[in-house]
Amino acid sequence: MRVLGIDPGLTRCGMGVVEGSVGRPLHLVDVNVLRTSADLPVAQRLVTIEKGIDAWLDEHAPDAVAVERVFARSDSSTIMGTAQASGIALVVAARRGLPVATHTPSEVKAAVSGSGRAGKAQVGAMVTRILRLDAPPKPADAADALALAITHIWRGGAQARIEAAVAAARSRS
């Protein structure tokens, strides 16, 4: 399975593609950060993010897309931009008919490090180890995007099977 992980942000949007399956070594395909200037109007920044995600989907042809679920942080000034970038990511993937999943930050941290309270450095170190990289991906948005893709490969398939079973049970009753 090839998964595009997206750590949404209006200034920095982390993008990471990981390939592999549960119980097998995972492989880094590509990682980068889409950047937009705070000097541009928000609408133009969102168009830049949309075009960037579209280009990544064209180039890497993922089987699924995993996006960080937006949550209310203490820094409310970034919530709106993060939510807008997240919405763009969800729409771009859904428009192509790709399976899209969202994962909370604590779910991602727990999946890659064993602790839902892991810090950025610990997540970066575990991504480096899991993907057998020489150094942690920089900036943290890049490492977070890879962590999202890893989480989806490890947990997303099982979650999709559970949801399908629940839906089938509901349709029978």
Which residues are known binding-site members for Mg(2+)?
Answer: 7, 68, 141
19 is catalytic: no
Tell me if residue 91 falls in helix, strand or coil: helix
DSSP state of 3: E
The active-site residue out of 58, 59, 141, 144 is 141
Residue 122's Cβ-side half-sphere holds a number of Cα atoms within 13 Å equal to 13
Active-site choice (68, 134, 144, 163): 68
Per annotation, catalytic residue among 7, 59, 63, 163 = 7
* 3-state class (DSSP) for residue 145: helix
Residue 144 is among the residues annotated as catalytic for this protein: no
Question: Is 141 one of the catalytic residues?
Answer: yes
User: DSSP letters along 35-81, please?
Assistant: E--TTS-HHHHHHHHHHHHHHHHHHH--SEEEEEPP---S-TTTHHH
List residues with catalytic annotation: 7, 68, 141
